[in-house]
Structure 1
């Protein structure tokens, strides 16, 4: 490769967030002085090594077009897909028109506005020379139970080897494209990028982040995200 790898970001933002019970998709809910998604974009653009951010949103998304977000570097758009993994794939395909296949892509949830600048820098620093890539994660602090279809406990898991997967998740553009396409063609559901990479026979590296990088999923999460942003002096 003729140049050092560059870093790009994809933000899948085509979901409607049914569990929030709000009329507005969760990524567009107001949080302090702007929307959840705008805080998420601020966090990514706060890392100077990220060349551009590709936001993947629904074609008929009225909320996206009403945002007045001013990006400090290129902001690219791509059409949303049926599932999150389809949206990510669309974003990667868009980036591959201008990026090197060996460049890195960081996929970050639209509803994770509290990503810390130091965690993002740590992820890039740790993985920049890695053969596979990896993701931010935190060790579980709770006792974890495995249950059967009736909701009864069948096992208590060893929490010393269990981590909560977070985002961003960082992999080479071509490698992630191929892993997601392979999973799609096989009809295999993937809930995050790392699981697609794992299914391709590779082992992503976990990089420890902070637990305040929460994903807004339920109504109570919005207030908690506001508290965390205030603690980070970003609200």
Structure 2
């Protein structure tokens, strides 16, 4: 375990509801998987600086597109040489890095036990191809884990529109898309919205003591607010989908 990974492990309980939920879900899915005697293999799509697969008991391959000038650069999306160097120094469970667009994947079929794609699919124009290629690289009996904004409640329109989001999915829409390529699909809502969620998203690195305390309070309260919201479309921020092959 690197120093970076240790600090991430130590501060994990203080992280946002979304991050904690995703990591706990993925750990549970890994544990429930069938062991083949080899390290459990995960493809982390869009995983450049992803905190979601840090310290997981798995061999992780990161995949992302190269960073280009324009919106991707402004939003710090995609891989750069400096990001790759940083990742390789900080992470001990990274076994490979692939710089590629998943919609044009050349990865061999059935290479991975699972794929995770956290807050990525809303950025993808060719979402059908994206899902098709993800399904193809998963072994039979494996799974894919997706999160994306909840389009039943959060509309990507008007002056607050995110310029890099192509669409926001409804629960039914995401289920229908994934069902074309997976045998079983489960989609539910996650993370209560509101003031405390906004507070929790503030960086814990701030030197402002008021904002630091706000962030901690927001995290604790939002964690409790987000219990039992799986079927609540209103006032929830995310959709979480698990698709089984």
Query: Shorter-chain-normalised TM-score: which range?
Result: 0.3 to 0.5
Report the TM-score when normalising by structure 2: 0.35
Q: Which has the higher contact order (CA 8 A, sep 6+)?
A: 1
